[in-house]
Structure formats: structure tokens, C-alpha cells
Amino acid sequence: MDSKKKTVLFMPLDCVGHVNSLISIADSLKQAGHRTVFLFYDPMNGGLSEKGHEVYDCTTDELVTSEPTSASEQKWDMIVGEMGKLWRSSLMDNFIQTTRVGLGSMAKDIMKHEDRIDLKLNLIKPDLIVIDHYFIQPAVIKYGKPWARIYSASPLALHPKRDRLPPATLGLPTNWLDIKDPKTKALYEGYAKKVDEVKMELYEEFNEFLTVGHKLDPLPLDPMSYIYDSPYLNVHMYPEELDYSHVPSPSNWIRCDSMLRVNATLPDEATKFEDKTPPPFDIPAKLKEKPGKLIFLSMGSLASGDVALMKRLIGMLAKCPHRFIVSMGPNWQKYELAPNMWGAKFLPQLSVLRVIDLIITHGGNNTITECFYYGVPGFVVCPIFSDQYDNAQRIEEQKLGRRVDPFHCEETELLSAIEQVLGDSTIRTRMEAIRERMQKPENKYKAVRLFRDLVDKL
């Protein structure tokens, strides 16, 4: 084998967003002649094989290609149904159950399949392992080769307590410790205490698995984490304009504005590879002839499968005097769109972002960074769980949009938020400047260059 050709293994969380954050890096390394491999716990592929990447199931004893099945799709529907109950609960109940059940199941997967991960590493023989996950696999450390981390969620969880920032995934105000109202202050402090208690339950269990079961170092406590920082490279994704720039950047971490999945080809290689820049979306004739601004409803791969939620939003937006493109999700056949709407099961989101006047979104970090990259001129963020709350809060604090509760808001609240954002010309001006900054080569290719440089040094 060519001594310069390296094998890079990507181990993301089994979610579309966490995979999307790795695609540009994997594609770029593939174009540079390296072997690229993805490893998943749940059956998924997402077109990775078509791009030339190897994709394997880590729960088997052999190297078996990972592909979605009808059983895995039914399991996904069941997960959405169960999580839908949590999403409608109180903020703290949502957090508690997401941690105990959601993160807890991730930890159990790692504990259950640890021997198979070790087996896969010895079969694949990676020269570098890239992780975008909330938990470390002991086999990665014991394998003894370089490994790097990507953190594609909001960076709030990377900050230590001395930065005086709010606990992550609750969407509390950034200045939460300066709140004057004693009842609100006591409520927030109670939240923070409960967050520490719930996270510590899982921390102690997983830390024992690592330290006693595998003789590894204890996990970090501040910030509390279920994974170590890499000694080689740690990269997180967040636009400069949303970042917590009034406090120091997280130690050992490099921030990138975005990791757009089409930005794999470096400028000096442009003549060798096909330009993957998505063209502007061709607006359907049904919407072209209607009046009003063009709005994109995109609630993410999980929430778009919640039929009751999608029906609720569509029912309210049907009263809006604007046009809507709707990413309908996996259950698209189970509900109808209003006359002022057009949609499909899945849409080329990057193309759609180039033609819209506003987005109504769950606030997932990939969607937010993609919107910033294309200068989408306004946001109404409807968070569902986890760091989506933090992103929604930052969008509102930075006066780039509004935060709205999709489960409990009144129709007038949602519609007035849309009109307020559309009517604020300063948002459009600021987002255009952000687009220009983020698309400069030094920002556009920052993540790709970091990983290309790391692989070149192996």
C-alpha cells in the first residue's frame, strides 16, 4: 500500500447532524487519496457508500456494511414517538429524561459492544480515528493510534464553571447569574444544581466503566464530560457571531464557523474535482405565483417525524400571508399541507437556504451554521431538546431572530414572531455580512485544512 495513503476512521453519533459535520472532512481526505471508513451502532448509511467511503456496522463480529432496514426505520418511528412525550414535558423533565434515557442508551451501547469495537479497529487498522460523539470508546484509547475530536453541538458544554455561563442544553440567558428577580434567580440556580446531580449519575457509572473496567484515566469533571479531550486535535463548530466571545475560548479547542458538507475541495484542487456547490433551489410553480415572503420550515430529522407537531405548526402557518417550503420528514404521507405550502419528504436543504427570506427551524447546530454560511436573513427557532435550546437563546440574544416554543405557543405568538423578524432590515444586513465573512477561504476551509494537515503528519 502507498506509504502516504492513510486509513481514517470516523465514529460519529448515529444521527444525521453528527454525520453531516464529518462529510466535508471525509470527502476531502478521500479526494487526497486516503481511505475513509465510517462505523455506526445503528444501521445507517446516508449515501456515504456512494461517495466511496466504507461504512460498517460496529455491532457485528465481521466487517458488515451498514445499511438501513425496514426494522431500523420502524425503530426510528418508535424512538420519535417516545421522545415526543419528553419534548412536550417541562424543560427540566425534558433534560432529565434526555440524559438518563437518551445519553444513557448511548453509554449502554458502548459498554455492550466494546469488544466488537476493539475487533473492528484491528480489522480496519486506522491510522487516525475521528470522533463526534458524547462518549469515549475505551478501545480507541487502548488502540494506541492518534485520535481527534469534533464537537458539532453548541460549545456551551465545553466551558468550565469559572466562565459563569449557564448549564448547557437548557437555553437559559447567558447573563443568568446577573438576573435581579430573586424568584427567577433561585429557579435558575435550582436548575443548575439539578443538572449537576443528573449528569453526575451517568458520569459515575461511565467513569467506573473506564477506570475500573479498562484502567483508563478518570473523566474530566469541569466541564463534566463522558469523553476526554484529544491530545492531537479538538475542533468545535459554531459561528463567531453566536459564540460566547466575552469569556475565554475552551482550552485545547479550535473553533470553526462551519463544516459544510459540500466544502471538501480546497481551492488549489478545484480543477481536479467536480464543484459541489449546490445551485439555488428551483421554486415550485405553485409557490412562484403566490404573494408573500418565502419561508422554509425545517424541523430536523427527528422532530419532522412527529406528526402531531408538524400538524400543529402547519395549522398555524396556514393563517400566515406568506409562502412555505416544508421539509415534511419520514411521515410525510400522514398529513396534508396548506394551500400556501409546498413540500416533500426530504429536500436539498443547502439549495433551499439560498432562496428563502426566513427559516423556521428546530435550531440544530448543523442547520444553524448552514444558515449563517448562506446568510439566511432571519430565524424563528423552535427548539425541541438539548443544545437546540441554547442555539435558540443565542439567536434571540444576538437579535438575529426569535425563539418560540413549538408545542405551547399561541398562533398569534408564532405569526407575530415571523412578521417581526421579516420586518427587521438590520437582520438581513448583518446576515449578508456574516455570509461574506464565513465564505472567505480561510474560514470556509478551516476544518478541512486542520484535518488534512493532521493526516499529512502521520
Three-point CA angle 201, 206, 211, nearest 5°: 125
Domain with CATH 3.40.50.2000 in the chain: 7-261+441-456, 285-438
Write down the CATH number for the domain with range 7-261+441-456: 3.40.50.2000
Three-point CA angle 383, 94, 371, nearest 5°: 20
Residue 254, C-alpha cell as written in the block: 479550535
- Cβ 150 vs Cβ 132: under 8 Å: yes
Neighbours of 274 (CB within 10 A): 7
Give the span between the Cα atoms of 458 and 454, in whole angstroms: 7
pLDDT in tens, 187-226: 999 999 999 999 999 999 999 999 999 999 999 999 999 9
The widest CA-to-CA distance across the chain, in whole angstroms, is 67
Name which of 4, 327, 7 is nearest 146 in CA terms.
7
Going by C-beta distance under 8 Å and a sequence separation of 6 or more, which residues neighbour residue 333? none
pLDDT in tens, 108-155: 999 999 999 999 999 999 999 999 999 999 999 999 999 999 999 999
Our measurement of the distance from residue 190's CA atom to the centroid of its chain's CA atoms, rounded to an integer in Å, reads 28
Residue 9 confidence class, pLDDT cut points 50, 70, 90: very high
**Choice among 57-66, 131-140, 245-254, 385-394 with the minimum mean pLDDT:** 57-66
CA dihedral 205, 206, 208, 210 (to 10 degrees): 170
pLDDT in tens, 424-440: 999 999 999 999 999 99
Residue 133, C-alpha cell as written in the block: 460523539
Burial of 71 (0-12, 13-18, 19+ CB in 10 A): exposed
Q: What percent of the chain has pLDDT over 70?
A: 96
pTM score: 0.95
**Is the pLDDT confidence value at 271 over 70?**
no
Per-residue pLDDT, 343: 97
pLDDT in tens, 148-174: 999 999 999 999 999 999 999 999 999
Greater model confidence, 267 or 254:
254
Residue 395, C-alpha cell as written in the block: 439567536
Residue 359, C-alpha cell as written in the block: 427559516
Burial of 403 (0-12, 13-18, 19+ CB in 10 A): buried
Bond preceding residue 223 cis, omega within 30 of 0: yes
**Is the pLDDT confidence value at 1 over 50?**
no
Q: What is the pLDDT averaged over residues 257-286?
A: 84
Backbone angles phi, psi at 295, to 5 degrees: -120, 140
Query: Spelled out in words, what is the top-level CATH class assigned to the domain 285-438?
Result: alpha beta
pLDDT in tens, 342-351: 999 999 999 9
Residue 39, C-alpha cell as written in the block: 462505523
**Is the pLDDT confidence value at 74 over 80?**
no
Q: What is the pLDDT averaged over residues 435-451?
A: 96
Length of the chain: 458
